[in-house]
């Protein structure tokens, strides 16, 4: 006996399919929308001199990544609700996953630039600077490698599911060692 439910009549969808997608939409869209006033506030309360600093530019880019993540996931959720039988494109699914897993590494890397504000490159001896930055940079390199490996394996596995939820579930169950490695390195990085 097959565990796959028959497809619903045209124009209808199962509640079990709508509920997770609607939850993503109702949570991610307001969080992404809240970043727009944050960007405006950053520009309003900053001076032209502050806007040239790398930390300011990277913070604006981090907010833009959050807006993109909310938009892509809202698109996926809407597509899942409206067109449950259509297979999701690999590029859209990979973009959604990439915008979910890459920004934490990017945002944690912004903290390195803040560290450089306390230890300027011009005035800090090179040996001291290497001692301070070596571990965080190595950890971030390890996190980056784990993310690239996960995205590569995800892209090759994500085309095997008929919809967003099944494709993501299949890829996660197949290649969970890379995100778990990245999570452990992220915890170490935060320490």
pLDDT in tens, 61-76: 999 999 998 998 888 8
Of 75, 97, 66, residue with least CA distance to 24: 75
- Domains contained in the chain, number: 1
Q: Are 101 and 179 in contact (CB under 8 A)?
A: yes
- Verdict on whether the full-model pTM lies above 0.95: no
> pLDDT digits over 86-137, tens only?
777 778 888 888 888 888 888 888 888 888 878 888 888 989 989 888 998 9
Residue 135 has what DSSP assignment? H
183 has pLDDT over 80: yes
Q: Tell me if 10 is assigned to some domain.
A: no
- pLDDT of 44: 94
> pLDDT digits over 11-51, tens only?
666 777 778 788 888 888 899 999 999 999 999 999 999 99
Q: Tell me if 4 is assigned to some domain.
A: no
Give 176-181 contacts, CB < 8 A, sequence gap 24+. Answer: 178/146, 178/147, 178/149, 178/150, 178/153, 179/101, 179/146, 179/150, 181/142, 181/146
Q: Tell me if 112 is assigned to some domain.
A: yes
- The pLDDT-based confidence of 145 (bands split at 50, 70, 90) is very high
Q: Tell me if 64 is assigned to some domain.
A: yes
Q: Tell me if 3 is assigned to some domain.
A: no
Sheet strands (E) in the chain? none
- pLDDT of 158: 66
- Written as six digits, the tokens of 53 are 């600093």
Angle at 19 between CA 17 and CA 20, to 5 degrees: 80
Q: Tell me if 130 is assigned to some domain.
A: yes
Q: Tell me if 7 is assigned to some domain.
A: no
Q: Which residue has the tokens 């969080």?
A: 31
Domain that residue 131 falls in:
16-190
Q: Tell me if 89 is assigned to some domain.
A: yes
164 has pLDDT over 80: no
173 has pLDDT over 80: no
For the four alpha carbons of 155, 168, 187 and 31, in that order, the dihedral sign comes to positive
- pLDDT of 42: 93
State the Cα–Cα distance between residues 155 and 138, nearest whole angstrom: 26
């Amino acid at each position: 006996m097959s565990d796959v439910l028959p497809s619903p009549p045209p124009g209808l969808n199962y509640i079990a399919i709508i509920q997770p997608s609607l939850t993503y939409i109702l949570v991610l869209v307001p969080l992404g929308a809240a970043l727009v006033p944050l960007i405006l506030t950053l520009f309003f309360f900053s001076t032209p001199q502050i806007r040239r600093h790398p930390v300011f530019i990277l913070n604006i880019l981090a907010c833009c990544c959050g807006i993109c993540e909310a938009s892509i996931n809202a698109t996926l959720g809407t597509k899942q609700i409206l067109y449950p039988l259509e297979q999701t494109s690999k590029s859209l699914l990979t973009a959604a996953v990439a915008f979910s897993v890459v920004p934490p590494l990017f945002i944690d890397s912004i903290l390195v630039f803040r560290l450089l504000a306390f230890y300027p490159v011009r005035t800090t001896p090179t040996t001291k600077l290497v001692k301070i930055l070596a571990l965080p940079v190595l950890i971030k390199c390890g996190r980056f490698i784990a993310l690239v490996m996960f995205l590569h394996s995800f892209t090759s596995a994500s085309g095997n599911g008929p919809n967003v939820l099944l494709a993501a579930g299949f890829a996660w169950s197949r290649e969970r060692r890379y995100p778990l490695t990245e999570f452990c390195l992220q915890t170490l990085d935060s320490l």
